[in-house]
Amino acid sequence: MIVLRSFLSNLSVYAIIALGCILAVPLLLFPESVILKHIQLVAKLSSSISLRLAGIDLEIKGQDNIPKGAIIVASKHESLWETQFLLGFFDNVSIVLKKELFYIPILGLIFKKAGYVFVDRNRGKYEALRFIKQAKKVISKSRPVVIFPQGSRITPGEKAPYKSGVAILYKYLKVPCVPVALNSGKVWPRRKFFRYPGKIVVEFLDPIYDYQEDHEKFLLILEEKIETATKNLLSL
């Protein structure tokens, strides 16, 4: 049964995303807001249907901790699922992605039209300035920006450093940062075929407002908040 559920769940993700990309092509001629609504709908469908097919429940905690207006959403990253979830959960959201994803045919055009922020990890100071400028443009429209502080998907329990990108955003954008803990890796392991019945819990934690001038202090607080809450969720 797990094999069948996993197959159907995986198939639904790629089928919905593929269909969404095809339907998005003519929408590239319309304003940014149109493509953002389309992405949100596709992401909601993909994340919810794939969970249902896999026999996975979802619980969302701490929604009252999300301030209104422009924010940084700094999320733990354990699987592909939370990328879909966050793109579907927030209205008009932008997300920080590695530059290579913008070269994918059609998908890259959609990302650019949606105003997503890309980062080239190999370009040093010049890249940081471009990164800040691009993110400020997004925030000026009161849009939330999602970033995965560790840079890539992390297996539950694995140690990985929190990178400076989120601290740079926090310093220069001057908006609250909402940490997000989750346990998706328990039932939706990264780069694995199988999906296991259970429950994913996503928890929005108390926002961070201070330490914009102290990168190290901010990163320590962010890491402590996310890792402590994630450890608790993984023990459920």
For the chain, give every domain's residue range.
2-234
Mean pLDDT of the chain: 93
Using one digit for the tens of pLDDT, what is the confidence trace for 152-208?
899 998 889 999 889 999 999 999 999 999 999 999 998 889 999 999 999 999 999
- Distance between CA 36 and CA 24 in Å, rounded? 10
pLDDT band of 210, cuts 50, 70, 90: confident
**Mean of the pLDDT values across residues 136-162?**
93
CATH classification of 2-234 is 3.40.1130, yes or no?
yes
Q: How confident is the model at residue 236 (pLDDT cuts 50, 70, 90)?
A: confident
**CA terminus-to-terminus distance, the chain:** 24
What's residue 113's pLDDT?
A: 95
Is the predicted pLDDT of residue 121 greater than 80, yes or no? no
Enter the DSSP assignment of 161.
P
**CA-wise closest residue to 62 among 235, 217, 225:** 225
* One-letter identity of residue 15: A
Q: What is the pLDDT of residues 14-30, one digit of tens each?
A: 999 999 999 999 999 99
Taking the C-alpha atoms of residue 66 and residue 168, their distance in angstroms, rounded to an integer, is 21
What's the rounded Cα separation, in Å, for the pair 51 and 56? 5
Residue 223 has pLDDT above 80, yes or no: yes
As a whole number of angstroms, the distance between CA 175 and CA 165 comes to 15
